[in-house]
A and B are shown apart, each in its own frame.
Chain A
């Protein structure tokens, strides 16, 4: 079993589990309609991409799955050119503890949901181009680049794009956002209330 996580593509491409993991990731990205192949645009920066390899473990220490993640080299993005706004709020721990305390006091149950591949869901506002990932370069189109329609991990604007989307969703659903905690939403219906707290891709509700 390959317990050690490879550091680079050259290492990973020698092992079947990782090759399979990369294929799965690319399939997922393409299914998500994340990018399209275009000619290299003039005067635009092309952001590099990189493979990251992670072994997911079960609580008992056995291997659950091998995961290859394609990330953007977000650090090479330049402000005002490649991105504008990047801030995205997350819940404060105190809020979460207060919510737990309130639930305990009122005898409510707290439930949890988590979003699969959060950042890959939102449509980008800016024009962003990335290079084709190692191992998956389109034959005959080696010179082309990928225009991103949706975010990749580690892209500077990825978290914000996600927050805007889910925020809009809650507002549309008739939730009120807390003034002092932008990740806390409340909806009242008759005698019932739903309180939702958002922590990036995890959320709890009661």
Chain B
């Protein structure tokens, strides 16, 4: 049935058979015997490079504990467009990293005037 579907499809449209799915929309997919593993390694690496954080030290917790964010904390303003771009990218990452969902949403509440 699968074979038939594919052959029919390829006859009707000009298509490339990519076989087993292993990379789709920036998500790497590893299909194993009894499990499927998804990751966005490439995407994360490109993101770290784009925001010049490639050599930063990784930490295990996505947010600083007990830090309270404020509308105006007196610090100098940063590039708002860059901040929005980063938030958007982080949201795309939540596809495979639900653990950063809370942190990303929290940060996204401060897009008006980031510092």
Contacts and interface: CB of A to CB of B under 8 A. Distances in A.
B59 interface: no
Given A93-B95, A111-B21, A194 B2 contact: yes
A101 B96 CA distance: 12
Nearest to A120: B14
Nearest to B33: A107
Nearest to B19: A111
Given A97-B95, A121-B14, A199-B25, A111 B6 contact: yes
* Binding site secondary structure of chain A: mixed
Given A100-B36, A173-B8, A110 B15 contact: no
A178 interface: no
Contact of A110 (B14, B31, B35): B31
B17 to A, nearest CB: 6
Contact of A116 (B16, B24, B36, B92): B16
Interface residues of A, number: 29
A137 interface: no
28 contacts: A93-B25, A93-B95, A96-B27, A97-B95, A103-B36, A104-B35, A109-B20, A110-B20, A110-B31, A111-B6, A111-B21, A112-B19, A112-B21, A112-B24, A113-B10, A113-B16, A115-B13, A115-B14, A115-B15, A116-B14, A117-B14, A169-B12, A187-B5, A189-B1, A194-B2, A194-B5, A202-B24, A204-B24
Interface residues of B, number: 29
Nearest to B8: A173
Contact of A100 (B1, B14, B15, B29): B29
B77 interface: no
Contact of A194 (B1, B17, B95): B1
Interface in A9-64: none
B5 to A, nearest CB: 6
A97 B36 CA distance: 11
Contacts of B6: 111, 113, 205
A109 B36 CA distance: 9
Contacts of A125: none
B31 A109 contact: yes
A121 B18 contact: no
B79 interface: no
A116 B15 contact: yes
B104 to A, nearest CB: 15
Nearest to A97: B95
B6 to A, nearest CB: 7
A100 B9 CA distance: 22
A187 B2 CA distance: 11
Contacts of B95: 93, 97
Interface string A75-115: 00000000000000000010011001101100101111111
